[in-house]
Amino acid sequence: MQKKPLQCQFVAALDSIVGKWKPIILYHLLQGKPLRFNELRRLLPGITQRMLTLHLRELEEEELVNRVIYPQIPPKVEYSITEYGMSLSPVLEALHQWGAAHVERKQLKKETNEQKETD
């Protein structure tokens, strides 16, 4: 029992989280407010409809995201974070913070290099 103790946990976690847009989708939904398909699309400039659909389906399958269809015309579909999805909050928060620091660090380094060049 308990084989592949380490990497599988990572792999399992990352499979659910990773994808070019998944963390950002989750981050937005973790704000609490359910979002419609096109609302999400506007929040993710550059994403195609196809990619958004695919990623949302995967997140739904992982039970991280709820999908509720309102039988209206024009259609209305709302996506929201599930209770289980909320358990990702600390992970994404940590990631987000580190990302911010990382960007800042890179920026600083770039500026330092530009300084050197003008010397």
Interaction pattern, residues 41-70, with its own copies; x per rule: CB under 8 A: ---x--------------------------
Of 23, 24, 30, 37, the one binding DNA by CB under 7 A: 37
Contact between 74 and DNA (CB under 7 A)? yes
- For 32, 80, 102, 108, the CA distances from 113, given in Å and listed in that order, are 41, 44, 17, 9
Nearer to its own copies, 7 or 72 (CB): 7
37, two tokens: 């398909």
H helix intervals, 48-88: 49-61, 83-86
Give Cα 19 to chain centroid, integer Å: 8
In this structure, what DSSP letter does residue 48 have?
A: -
Of 33, 76, 106, 110, the one binding DNA by CB under 7 A: 76
Restricting to residues 42-61, which ones interact with DNA according to CB under 7 A? 46-51, 53-57
- The entry of DNA, its own copies, none near residue 101 (CB within 5 to 8 angstroms by kind) is its own copies
Q: Which 3 state secondary structure label does DSSP give 46?
A: coil
Contact between 81 and DNA (CB under 7 A)? no
